[in-house]
Amino acid sequence: MASKVPFKDIMVGSFAGGLGFLAAFAVYIFIALLLFVPGFILLKKEQAKPKEQQSMTMKVLAYVLMALGMVIGVGMGSGIFFNELGSEF
Protein backbone atom coordinates (compact mmCIF):
# COMPACT_ATOMS: atom_id res chain seq x y z
CA MET A 1 0.00 0.00 0.00
CA ALA A 2 1.33 3.44 -0.93
CA SER A 3 2.21 6.10 1.60
CA LYS A 4 -0.46 8.68 2.44
CA VAL A 5 2.07 11.54 2.72
CA PRO A 6 1.47 14.10 -0.04
CA PHE A 7 4.28 14.66 -2.52
CA LYS A 8 4.29 18.38 -1.68
CA ASP A 9 5.12 17.65 2.00
CA ILE A 10 7.98 15.37 0.99
CA MET A 11 9.43 18.06 -1.29
CA VAL A 12 9.09 20.81 1.33
CA GLY A 13 10.76 18.63 3.95
CA SER A 14 13.61 17.73 1.61
CA PHE A 15 14.14 21.34 0.60
CA ALA A 16 14.18 22.49 4.24
CA GLY A 17 16.65 19.76 5.16
CA GLY A 18 18.92 20.73 2.29
CA LEU A 19 18.87 24.39 3.26
CA GLY A 20 19.64 23.48 6.87
CA PHE A 21 22.62 21.41 5.77
CA LEU A 22 23.95 24.22 3.57
CA ALA A 23 23.49 26.79 6.34
CA ALA A 24 25.42 24.63 8.81
CA PHE A 25 28.16 24.02 6.24
CA ALA A 26 28.40 27.77 5.55
CA VAL A 27 28.97 28.46 9.26
CA TYR A 28 31.90 26.00 9.31
CA ILE A 29 33.39 27.57 6.18
CA PHE A 30 33.05 31.08 7.67
CA ILE A 31 34.79 30.06 10.92
CA ALA A 32 37.50 28.33 8.90
CA LEU A 33 38.11 31.49 6.88
CA LEU A 34 38.33 33.54 10.08
CA LEU A 35 41.24 31.33 11.13
CA PHE A 36 42.91 30.58 7.80
CA VAL A 37 43.09 34.10 6.32
CA PRO A 38 44.91 35.78 9.26
CA GLY A 39 47.35 32.86 9.36
CA PHE A 40 48.00 33.19 5.64
CA ILE A 41 48.54 36.96 5.92
CA LEU A 42 50.89 36.48 8.87
CA LEU A 43 52.89 33.87 6.96
CA LYS A 44 53.21 36.07 3.88
CA LYS A 45 54.42 39.01 6.02
CA GLU A 46 57.07 36.80 7.62
CA GLN A 47 58.19 35.37 4.28
CA ALA A 48 58.57 38.89 2.86
CA LYS A 49 61.22 39.68 5.47
CA PRO A 50 64.88 38.78 4.90
CA LYS A 51 65.71 35.22 5.96
CA GLU A 52 67.70 36.29 9.03
CA GLN A 53 64.86 38.48 10.34
CA GLN A 54 62.11 35.86 10.02
CA SER A 55 60.69 34.66 13.33
CA MET A 56 60.15 30.90 13.57
CA THR A 57 57.54 31.51 16.29
CA MET A 58 55.44 33.66 13.96
CA LYS A 59 55.73 31.08 11.17
CA VAL A 60 54.60 28.30 13.50
CA LEU A 61 51.70 30.46 14.74
CA ALA A 62 50.69 31.15 11.14
CA TYR A 63 50.79 27.45 10.26
CA VAL A 64 48.78 26.54 13.38
CA LEU A 65 46.08 29.09 12.49
CA MET A 66 45.97 27.83 8.92
CA ALA A 67 45.82 24.18 10.03
CA LEU A 68 42.95 24.90 12.43
CA GLY A 69 41.12 26.65 9.61
CA MET A 70 41.63 23.60 7.40
CA VAL A 71 40.41 21.14 10.01
CA ILE A 72 37.33 23.20 10.88
CA GLY A 73 36.62 23.82 7.20
CA VAL A 74 35.96 20.11 6.67
CA GLY A 75 39.51 19.40 5.53
CA MET A 76 39.22 20.90 2.06
CA GLY A 77 42.73 21.21 0.66
CA SER A 78 44.35 19.94 3.82
CA GLY A 79 46.39 17.30 1.98
CA ILE A 80 48.13 19.93 -0.12
CA PHE A 81 48.65 22.14 2.93
CA PHE A 82 50.26 19.43 5.06
CA ASN A 83 52.44 18.34 2.13
CA GLU A 84 53.76 21.89 1.75
CA LEU A 85 54.18 22.17 5.51
CA GLY A 86 56.42 19.10 5.47
CA SER A 87 58.63 20.66 2.81
CA GLU A 88 58.85 23.95 4.74
CA PHE A 89 60.49 22.52 7.84
Neighbour-count burial of 18, counting CB atoms closer than 10 A to its CB (0-12 exposed, 13-18 middle, 19+ buried): exposed
Cβ contact 65:38 at 8 Å: yes
Residue 53 lies in a domain: yes
Over residues 41-63, the pLDDT tens digits come to 999 999 899 989 988 899 889 98
User: Structurally, how many domains does the chain consist of?
Assistant: 1
Q: Given this model, what pLDDT does residue 39 score? A: 92
Q: Is residue 6 part of a domain?
A: no
Taking 70 as the pLDDT cut, the residues of the chain under it are 1-3, 74, 76-77, 89
Residue 1 lies in a domain: no
User: Cα torsion for 84, 87, 88, 89, to the nearest 10°?
Assistant: 130
pLDDT of residue 13: 86
- Look up the domain containing 47 and give its range: 29-88
Is 74 among the domain residues? yes
- The per-residue pLDDT for 67 is 86
Judge if pTM exceeds 0.85. Answer: no
* HEC-encoded secondary structure of 20-77: HHHHHHHHHHHHHHHHHHHHHHHHHHHHHCCHHHCCHHHHHHHHHHHHHHHHHCCCCC
